[in-house]
A and B are shown apart, each in its own frame.
Chain A
């Protein structure tokens, strides 16, 4: 989940101009023959997923294409949204409870060994691949999916989540076997891990890497560099991209459209998802967000891929009122403060910065209060550990509380005095480097942040760089001595608090040579030790421990969190839209037409 990760890019670029409402949409009167009233998911509520009407074609207007359809390669939410309808991962996260992982292809919970180094998963029977493969899915198909992920031809993008014994350290030429994955029978797969990380490993089994891939079919495609399986993907879920007899995806036109139709081999008895729709057509080049949003609102059978522009949303909120759904994006936006640079290595200086920082103004630069809540710590709402860390009220630190959302100059001055600056302001003459993207909203929010630092006497040098290099060439490279990263965000890949806090704040994850995700370079041995212990826990104890770690991190004041993002999804009046809380996007397999 690095800052440069594509999921973040999608959310950040499209949330930029968004106004989001705090309460929403309620019920829609159904015109179908169903006896129940189908409802779009209201903010924070539980959607009715059983009341849809079968049939119909849904069109989604999307501002950009998927990155890849290949489940071994995609790392974009747009790609995962389509793959989620086509493929079946071992586990998934349903629309009813965003904090819980539930079995999909798996038949029950993962079995974790006492030493936390082995995970065993049983598979359902009766799940079949779509044409032209037409055979039952077995555990060997999952094993092959993992093995090909590590091939350079396929290009899996999050290998560090899956430290299986025998997994290659670097991408392999061709698909190589992994000794730590075994398949005792067709319905069982066993993962032996390098370390005692089984709990977070099990949580990560919702990711597309666990989508089965039939080796005998995919092997010739994977032998090419790059693999051409991307245009020959077979489905195991309710939908498939329209294909021909040889498996060529004729329904996928890169940068133009994707046509999903029913998978004739899908058996609803093996799947909790209702899959009401007959067809989903995705226009992947609906580039003008204003026009697209208005087309969806005025039209029939349409949804918008993600946040509408601010002006359209205002109209939705004030006039239309019942054609949108709001869902937490599952992450935080923050200004990391480099704790290795003087005087930011002084905790009281950092606390002073947080105390005096007008977080409201920074949020306003992203679109205002409707883009999300102001954080009081790091773990986001509707996420394990959030309540344990203090919920919306936070852990109770005066420098990051609901009372100083717009900054408290007196409190900031008091912390500066504690730090050894009697005037209550910084008196040094050096310039501090702040790096941000050269386009809004990154630029606008960084300008606000720079002004906040300057209020305390810091001289900031704001450097604007292209979006694609903000992380990879600057913020993630410790040698560049970036004092404050002006356009950072961190969003979930799966439901586990460890994945939110460990890469971003554990001292042992600091990568000096680049690719560093601990942007503040926080190196607190107490936090590190607590993380090592908490990694072994499960269930409620795990959530409590990571909630406590969140408090410890917040106490260290290594960064200014300023938005817990929300995503607003728009639909036509006759669409019963159900949001997928994992991706914060519409879920094709639960949505329906009235």
Chain B
């Protein structure tokens, strides 16, 4: 197991290196606009543009720029400074990362638990009224765009502009203090972000579980006289849930790069919002920093999932 983890970590490092090269190529070699011109202000002279390029290091050969960029990340974990407000990208990203992690992990907990419960109930009661109701509801949740659902939730339930003033609304997270207050402010964003994912997971799990429950070993378990609850939860669910965990890991990893829509509509200062602002302003250094964080999130979560397999599925050994 230890050798496997080390091997995977080395591959992750290599993967991140490739990703830095690709993002560097996209953002620095093929940019839509010249960062120096965007920063130079009114009627800049050629000398002014040259001075800014020099300041940003854009006048160096590309291989040198890339080498310095990677070296600074490796040595100092330094992603450079924002092109638009001079702040350290590292500080900008890491001051927002806890907010994104809190948002994503809370929502993931909700969608995973509710997805598993709904999927299991639906599979066990296949064809029943409850099955149709739950799967119909899931279809609605999958079809509703997160942004739309966020706005509707705010207009219905937020304590400032809502019809029924039940939950903290947009911007509440930013002004909340302490873990409990912040958690309270995140109830609506968690539910909105979790809704679509829970529905997808429920449908996926239902399908997997139905397939698993028709396997020979399940029939054997029933023939041995095990209770239906034990058959479903111990033998059926354990096998059916493995692909769900894979997807969960990747989804969490992707969302670590920012749940942009949820962060935007609920005004949560997360990595997604930072990335969105940076794209709007053509802030290449920040865009690249957030992209690498996203890539690292996916790579690390992928590794975590693979390790979890060993515990979930007795057949898997490293």
CB-CB contacts below 8 Å: B260-280 with A:
264-265, 267, 269, 273-274, 276-277, 280
B277 surroundings in chain A (CB, below 8 A)? 64-65, 255, 285
Q: Tell whether, in the assembled complex, residue A291 and residue B267 are in contact, meaning their CB atoms are under 8 Å apart.
A: yes
Q: Provided the pairs A65-B277, A157-B42 are in contact, do residues A170 and B47 lie with their beta carbons within 8 angstroms?
A: yes
CB-CB contacts below 8 Å: A156-174 with B:
156-161, 169-171
Q: Tell whether, in the assembled complex, residue B160 and residue A295 are in contact, meaning their CB atoms are under 8 Å apart.
A: yes
Q: Tell whether, in the assembled complex, residue A157 and residue B47 are in contact, meaning their CB atoms are under 8 Å apart.
A: no
Chain A residue with the shortest CB-CB distance to B277: A255
Q: Provided the pairs A61-B171, A171-B52, A226-B55 are in contact, do residues A155 and B160 lie with their beta carbons within 8 angstroms?
A: no
B89 CB to closest chain A CB (Å) equals: 11
A169 surroundings in chain B (CB, below 8 A)? 45, 47
Chain A residue with the shortest CB-CB distance to B267: A286
A481 CB to closest chain B CB (Å) equals: 19
B29-60 CB mask vs A (1 if < 8 Å, else 0) is: 00011100111111111111011101100000
CB-CB contacts below 8 Å: A231-255 with B:
231, 253-255
Q: Tell whether, in the assembled complex, residue A2 and residue B42 are in contact, meaning their CB atoms are under 8 Å apart.
A: yes
Question: With contacts defined as CB atoms under 8 Å apart, how many contacts are there between chain A and chain B in the complex?
Answer: 144
Q: Tell whether, in the assembled complex, residue B41 and residue A75 are in contact, meaning their CB atoms are under 8 Å apart.
A: yes
Q: Tell whether, in the assembled complex, residue B38 and residue A472 are in contact, meaning their CB atoms are under 8 Å apart.
A: yes
Tell which of B34, B55, B170, B269 touches A472, judged by Cβ atoms closer than 8 Å.
B34
B38 surroundings in chain A (CB, below 8 A)? 4, 468, 472
Q: Tell whether, in the assembled complex, residue B42 and residue A5 are in contact, meaning their CB atoms are under 8 Å apart.
A: yes
Asked whether any CB of chain B lies closer than 8 Å to the CB of A22, the reply is no
A157 surroundings in chain B (CB, below 8 A)? 39-42
A231 surroundings in chain B (CB, below 8 A)? 87
B contacts with A, residue count (CB < 8 A): 49
Majority-rule SS of B interface residues:
helix
Asked whether any CB of chain A lies closer than 8 Å to the CB of B81, the reply is yes
Asked whether any CB of chain B lies closer than 8 Å to the CB of A298, the reply is yes
A62-75 CB mask vs B (1 if < 8 Å, else 0) is: 00111110000001
A156 surroundings in chain B (CB, below 8 A)? 41
Q: Provided the pairs A288-B170, A290-B151 are in contact, do residues A468 and B161 lie with their beta carbons within 8 angstroms?
A: no
B46 surroundings in chain A (CB, below 8 A)? 513
B223-258 CB mask vs A (1 if < 8 Å, else 0) is: 000000000000000000000000000000000000
Q: Tell whether, in the assembled complex, residue B33 and residue A285 are in contact, meaning their CB atoms are under 8 Å apart.
A: no
Asked whether any CB of chain A lies closer than 8 Å to the CB of B65, the reply is no
* Distance of A157 Cα from B52 Cα, bound (Å): 11
Asked whether any CB of chain A lies closer than 8 Å to the CB of B200, the reply is no
Q: Provided the pairs A171-B52, A255-B269 are in contact, do residues A4 and B37 lie with their beta carbons within 8 angstroms?
A: yes
* Distance of A65 Cα from B282 Cα, bound (Å): 14
Asked whether any CB of chain B lies closer than 8 Å to the CB of A511, the reply is yes
B119 CB to closest chain A CB (Å) equals: 32
Majority-rule SS of A interface residues:
loop
Asked whether any CB of chain B lies closer than 8 Å to the CB of A581, the reply is no
* Distance of A333 Cα from B47 Cα, bound (Å): 30
Chain A residue with the shortest CB-CB distance to B34: A472
* Distance of A435 Cα from B315 Cα, bound (Å): 61
CB-CB contacts below 8 Å: B141-196 with A:
151, 154-155, 160-161, 169-171, 174
B160 surroundings in chain A (CB, below 8 A)? 295, 298-299
Asked whether any CB of chain A lies closer than 8 Å to the CB of B84, the reply is yes
Chain B residue with the shortest CB-CB distance to A516: B43
Q: Provided the pairs A255-B274, A511-B43, A513-B46 are in contact, do residues A67 and B267 lie with their beta carbons within 8 angstroms?
A: no
B3 CB to closest chain A CB (Å) equals: 42
A220 surroundings in chain B (CB, below 8 A)? none
Asked whether any CB of chain B lies closer than 8 Å to the CB of A451, the reply is no
From B38, B54, B171, B265, residue with most partner A Cβ within 10 Å: B171
A285 surroundings in chain B (CB, below 8 A)? 174, 267, 269, 273, 277
B155 surroundings in chain A (CB, below 8 A)? 294
Asked whether any CB of chain A lies closer than 8 Å to the CB of B214, the reply is no
* Distance of A155 Cα from B43 Cα, bound (Å): 13
A437 CB to closest chain B CB (Å) equals: 11
Q: Tell whether, in the assembled complex, residue B41 and residue A283 are in contact, meaning their CB atoms are under 8 Å apart.
A: no
Tell which of B48, B52, B174, B267 touches A159, judged by Cβ atoms closer than 8 Å.
B48
Q: Tell whether, in the assembled complex, residue B154 and residue A291 are in contact, meaning their CB atoms are under 8 Å apart.
A: yes
Tell which of A65, A161, A226, A283 touches B171, judged by Cβ atoms closer than 8 Å.
A283
* Distance of A227 Cα from B40 Cα, bound (Å): 15
A288 surroundings in chain B (CB, below 8 A)? 151, 170, 264-265, 267
* Distance of A45 Cα from B154 Cα, bound (Å): 36
Q: Provided the pairs A4-B37, A65-B85, A225-B55 are in contact, do residues A291 and B47 lie with their beta carbons within 8 angstroms?
A: no
A472 surroundings in chain B (CB, below 8 A)? 33-34, 37-38
Q: Tell whether, in the assembled complex, residue A255 and residue B92 are in contact, meaning their CB atoms are under 8 Å apart.
A: yes
Q: Tell whether, in the assembled complex, residue B45 and residue A158 are in contact, meaning their CB atoms are under 8 Å apart.
A: no
Chain A residue with the shortest CB-CB distance to B269: A256
B266 CB to closest chain A CB (Å) equals: 8
Tell which of B34, B43, B54 touches A517, judged by Cβ atoms closer than 8 Å.
B43
Chain B residue with the shortest CB-CB distance to A173: B51
Asked whether any CB of chain B lies closer than 8 Å to the CB of A345, the reply is no
Top 6 nearest A-B pairs by Cβ distance?
Answer: A157-B41, A170-B47, A469-B33, A466-B32, A472-B37, A171-B51
Q: Could you pull out 24 A-B pairs where Cβ atoms are within 8 angstroms?
A: A4-B37, A67-B84, A68-B86, A153-B55, A155-B39, A171-B47, A171-B48, A228-B86, A255-B273, A256-B174, A256-B269, A283-B171, A286-B170, A286-B171, A287-B264, A291-B151, A291-B154, A295-B169, A298-B161, A465-B32, A466-B33, A468-B281, A469-B34, A515-B37
What 14 additional pairs, Cβ within 8 angstroms, besides A171-B48, A288-B265? A4-B38, A152-B51, A160-B43, A225-B55, A227-B86, A254-B92, A255-B92, A285-B269, A291-B170, A295-B160, A295-B161, A298-B161, A469-B34, A515-B43
